Amino acid sequence: MAEPSPQDNILLDVKGLKKYFPIQRGLLRRTIGYVKAVDDVTFFVREGETLGLVGESGCGKTTAGRTIIRLYEPTAGSALFKTRLLSPDGSPQMVDLLTADKQQLKLLRQEISMIFQDPINSLNPRMSVSDIVAEPLVIHGRGKGPEVEEIVVNLLERVGLRPEHMRRYPHEFSGGQRQRIGIARALALNPRLVICDEPVSALDVSIQAQTLNLLQDLQADFNLSYIFVAHDLSVVQHISDRVAVMYVGKIVEMASAEELYINPLHPYTEALMSAVPKADPLYRSERIVMQGDVADPSNPPPGCYFHPRCRYAVDICSKQSPEFRELRPDHFVACHRAEELQLKGV
Amino acid sequence: MSDGDTLVEVKDLKVEFDVREGIIKAVDGLSLEVKRGRTLGVIGESGCGKSMTARAILNMVPKPGKITGGEILYYRYLDGNGGPGVTEVINITQLDPDGELIRQIRGGEIGMIFQEPMSSLTPVYTAGTHINEAVTLHRLIPIRKIGDQLVETIQAHRQVSKQEAREIAIEMLRKVGIPKPEQRVDAYPHQLSGGQRQRVMIAVALSCEPKMLIADEPTTALDVSIEAQILDLMRELQETVNMAIMFITHNLGVIAEMAEEVVVMYMGKQVEQATAVDLFYNPQHPYTRALLQSIPHVGRKSRQRLASIAGMVPDPFHLPPGCVFHPRCSYFMAGKCDVLTPSWKQIAPKHWVRCLLYEEV
């Protein structure tokens, strides 16, 4: 992939992102190894689109999201983000989020926000709804008293909460309503990119649909880009324009949502999709059973990390790490045998 | 009403919670039958009473909840030692919740698996309480080897020596697909992965060869690949021991795969019941229809919005009059749905629904 220029419609361009957590033992806290939570991940997000990041627990999808926004300090890599805030004349430029200093970061965080999975623990129980939603506005000095209140009222209305309830506290709301509060807070500063970390997985089915619809409406209204981190493949497919599949810290496949589900190129994607229970009692899928457990990210197997569980594995898979390459236009995969395999989608 | 195939029959069950703010009707007039060797699915959103129904069947409703009405009949088959067996009918609601008989049934004849077993532990209990509870409730105790916990359950319900129980335990672990069971039997729960712990829970639940298994969201906390393995395992074991399963979940995909017959619950009441095929292809109650339309389907990509159910589940202390679903219903008929209470009506063979659309009023 070529270096993006500010004129392209690439909003975020992540290259070679790594996040290793040290494993420390003993009195002196010596580092005896690393958990490679995110291990050389490369992807990009276009303006106004949704990139789904999907994978099983422990695959590094959440860590990837948090490292980009610098909640974790990265081990290596770059994440170029298109911003207008840092140039004096407001012209767009690409800035590396991973090397930005504190001051730059504070500015940049107005344009990137986050929605969390757990709508109970991510809201301060001692703050009223209006204080929660206003907090980012206050921190970044956007207006005072009545001005802030007006913005908060607008935001609450926009996410479908009644402004009369703004003096209430989070515990007085249902799970779905709390998630709406979190969404209103994330939108307070007019961000361009929102990292949604499992935003609907704690919600009931009917509330999940409302929340997904709301996220889509907001995206259209504010031209938002989403990185949508989730483990539910059907939800990710529904909301995403493009999907990246992660396995043990690496992206193994990335393509448009339609393409990925119809023509998967990586055996892991194929197996994962075959495992999703389909809401159709007459559908009898040929389920691909993955042998064994997910590889240990502190001690991954040699070669391709998926090879011990892969039914198509050959000699080279256990020796050489496959390259992440663009096999078809906009369809990237990391598998030695991607060219020859005929995999089944759903 | 019941034929020889019925194992458990729930009739007009009512479970109420008497709390300071008032009375919550967690289960309100529920009737269903679980057949031997078959799978009954129960779906509904949180708070609809599906888990409370399961607990009532084991006479384990937590305080301040109480079974306030109806009966739960357990058709217990007693093997006649070579001669013809006899069926004894036990009304579970009449049993002393701490008595000998219910303790035999619970865990021995009706097994149970909950959601992720480690997270359902209560940290304030002492180890002793946990151990006693584990035998009846099937929970893993973090500080004890899984083998010991299995052995204890087996010995509580079967007349075997400790050595024999250990052998059964190893055999069960092998059956549920735990690698190297001879060594794993001495592992502690934290040394296992989430999927393996859930397999151990299934091993505990099945170690006494129950006639029925109550599975309450058994795969909700697991990844799809592990979920697939657990579902396959449950089906496989069901075939080999002719066990009935009551499968409780909010996941429509899982229900479609597992259940032959499905009960849909909303606010403590069953609103529809049908065979799985009928329910998914020909849903009749507006709530069932809305639920089915509100989920995204993998493989069917559309740019359309999901059909969502407006509003939210009502406050259990201020239930709407008439049909409790009417404020969210897209087929709402003013003057009818907000006034009259719909009755449970059979509309086709094996298909029941509780909705005024199907009543002449």
User: So what's the pLDDT on residue B140?
Assistant: 67
User: So what's the pLDDT on residue A89?
Assistant: 84
Candidates A205, A277, A278; nearest CB to B291: A205
Cβ-based contacts of B177 with chain A (< 8 Å):
none
Tokens at residue B46, please?
């949180």
State pLDDT tens for residues A328-342. Answer: 999 999 999 999 999
User: So what's the pLDDT on residue B361?
Assistant: 67
| B276 Cβ under 8 Å from any chain A Cβ | yes
The rounded distance, in Å, linking the Cα atoms of B222 and B243 is: 23
User: So what's the pLDDT on residue B125?
Assistant: 38
List the single residue in A with minimal CA-CA distance to B256.
A281
State pLDDT tens for residues B202-258. Answer: 888 888 788 999 998 888 777 888 888 888 888 888 888 889 999 999 899 999 999
State pLDDT tens for residues B54-103. Answer: 989 988 888 888 999 999 999 988 776 656 677 889 999 999 888 888 88
State pLDDT tens for residues A12-59. Answer: 999 999 999 998 888 888 888 899 999 999 999 999 999 999 998 888
| B104 Cβ under 8 Å from any chain A Cβ | no
Candidates B45, B253, B309; nearest CB to A279: B253
Binning pLDDT at 50, 70 and 90, where does residue B1 land?
A: very low
Cβ-based contacts of B39 with chain A (< 8 Å):
none
Cβ-based contacts of B228 with chain A (< 8 Å):
274-275, 277, 287, 289
Q: Which residue of B278, B294, B329 to mutate against A (max A Cβ within 10 Å)?
A: B294
User: So what's the pLDDT on residue B147?
Assistant: 80
State pLDDT tens for residues B134-183. Answer: 444 556 666 777 788 788 778 877 788 888 888 888 888 887 778 788 88
User: How far does A327 lie from chain B, in Å, by closest CA?
Assistant: 22
List the single residue in A with minimal CA-CA distance to B276.
A281
Candidates B195, B295, B305; nearest CB to A216: B305
State pLDDT tens for residues B312-331. Answer: 788 888 889 999 999 999 99
State pLDDT tens for residues A189-210. Answer: 999 999 999 898 878 888 889 8
List the single residue in A with minimal CA-CA distance to B312.
A207
Cβ-based contacts of A177 with chain B (< 8 Å):
312
Structure pTM?
0.85
Predicted confidence (pLDDT) at residue A236 exceeds the cutoff of 90: yes
Is B120 strand, coil or helix?
coil
Query: Of residues B192 and A257, which shows the higher confidence score?
Result: A257
